[in-house]
Chains A and B, each alone.
Chain A
């Protein structure tokens, strides 16, 4: 996904000189092609995320389209006030990108577990939030950028995530993207954890539970009408994300349903509210933080049977 992002961005930057890639010394070998092709549209500010966002904001005030790229929580939490005041308050066209979001860098420890970013970015005015699930969704998100003004946040996985879609989805309306149809329950997923959802759907099919599986790469603005329509005819909506429950995608769906007065049962599956003081693979940490594939399967089966 990281390579897909950089390839799509590089193409865009070649066509649009306003695109400037700004990094805070992250991207070993990842940014080389971009730098070789467009050295004048690249800037490494050093290990200084507050300055990365401030510089990006200043450049955007002159009509540039900066992309501020870093890893994990560095481009969001470290410089949250710069994002809030410099970008969102001024509604500037800057795209903040985090590579390795969720538990992708699980072995690097809790500092690198990026599991509150959706909540934090989603709470900021003017901010748009995207979480692609595979390389094609990632490319589709990058293609939204030129026509989407104001601040944006993209939550990337790491790399080599399996491809989910046959063709590049159209994300222009923000509607969730169908991965496979089903009739009993609707499962809507954000991010690369969709692979676990596919496993779960396969297992549930064997138990006689037909899962309608979708991804929802556009988290804000949330197209709740399309989400409601996508769930039509099923018992309700299960959401799944590699993020804490509070303020995440499932929380966004529940808020929007409640605001509209739409009484659709929702089961939000997300990580525990805990600082994982352990290291491990993405799969290990999902299990440790409450999202083992077995528990996901069991909870969806229960929800479908008893809702």
Chain B
């Protein structure tokens, strides 16, 4: 039974993601927990998409550039009814559809396969340009990680998108401030991050990346040039020992840690809007 609200979707997805990663012995749970609210608002509230219209030519296009957050994205898609929930139980199993990076091959709701960083913003710019040429009103949403913005291809595409005033393009950056080995600011600083995007000609909005109403307003708003939503998030959001923790980019929760994490998340259910 699909989740009924974006808040419930996010909570269900967090629990699913912990189970998936723990069961598979996989990494990237911190990134998954950090992006899940963004993805829940995108798929559940803002974008013109639905599980029964994945091939609708007029649908909006959601691109997940941070392909390593696959467990979180798949958990959102599964709990939103894009494919059977049972698929989540076979995450990273031999021959199963769902693997450790987001793939469009045979996964309803995924538009573009990623895993190497810095690929989806140029691709999204191409869709936005082609849509304008065709007079199609579809919007393109690209979800990026903050560390990913160290890849130069994003800035190539950022220049081009501003040049062509791609108002149909929105980038959402999961600004959790951590990358694999340390804080982004300790390795190759992104700040002043908003100023950088402003200087590149983008319409910049900063929000709490776990506040669904704020995300909806920022992502869903109209703009006449490309918009970037810098969504300030907490890596590992919802599980106290994973929050703001560098090792939980890479670590796998063992059975005990997973049970603890799920208990913490279940305890949040009472406060969830349905």
Contact = CB atoms under 8 A, between A and B. Distances in A.
A89 B127 CA distance: 17
Contacts, number: 87
Contacts of A60: 126
B133 A51 contact: no
Given A45-B160, A48-B160, A54 B113 contact: no
Contact of A85 (B119, B131, B157, B160): B119
A51 B122 contact: yes
A220 B102 CA distance: 29
Nearest to A53: B122
A10 interface: no
Contacts of A89: 113
B137 to A, nearest CB: 13
B57 to A, nearest CB: 9
Interface residues of A, number: 26
A51 B133 CA distance: 18
A283 to B, nearest CB: 37
* Interface size band for B: 20 to 34
B116 interface: yes
Nearest to B67: A85
Contacts of A219: none
B112 A90 contact: yes
A51 B157 contact: yes
B118 interface: yes
A55 B112 contact: no
Contacts of A45: 156, 160
B156 A61 contact: no
Q: B-side binding surface: helix, strand, loop or mixed?
A: helix
Given A40-B133, A50-B153, A85-B113, A61 B119 contact: no
Interface in A194-210: none
B115 interface: yes
Instruction: With a 10 A CB-CB cut-off, give which of A40, A82, A86 has the most chain B CB atoms.
Output: A86
Contact of A86 (B111, B119, B133): B119
A231 interface: no
A59 interface: yes
A100 to B, nearest CB: 23
Contact of A51 (B113, B128, B160): B160
Interface string B118-141: 111111111111110110000000
Q: Which 7 A-B pairs have the closest CB atoms?
A: A58-B126, A54-B122, A55-B126, A48-B156, A58-B127, A51-B156, A58-B123
5 contacts: A48-B156, A51-B153, A55-B129, A59-B127, A82-B153
